[in-house]
């Protein structure tokens, strides 16, 4: 995967192939990885409420 765009593409492929009901993303640490998930990956997947996205990733 390597990039936020690549991760979004992988998740889209999983959805299109109907091989999973969903995916779980758990950043190893808060910081740059969480920032990318919140600012790039989540919006590209249609998640719009930043508070909801952060809560989902931090739990």
pTM of the model: 0.72
Which pLDDT band holds residue 8 (cuts at 50, 70, 90)? very high
Other beta carbons within 10 Å of 14: 14
Q: List pLDDT tens digits, range 28-58.
A: 777 888 888 888 998 898 887 766 666 666 6
If 0-12 CB within 10 Å is exposed, 13-18 middle and 19+ buried, where does residue 21 land? exposed
Other beta carbons within 10 Å of 47: 14
pLDDT value at 59 more than 60: no
Label residue 46 left, alpha or beta by phi (over 0 means left) and psi (-120 to 50 means alpha): left
Which pLDDT band holds residue 17 (cuts at 50, 70, 90)? very high
């Amino acid at each position: 995967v390597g990039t936020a765009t690549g991760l979004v593409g992988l998740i889209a492929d999983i959805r299109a192939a109907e091989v999973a009901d969903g995916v779980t993303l758990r950043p190893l640490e808060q910081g740059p990885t969480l920032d990318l998930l919140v600012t790039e990956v989540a919006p590209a997947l249609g998640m719009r409420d930043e508070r909801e996205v952060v809560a989902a990733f931090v739990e």
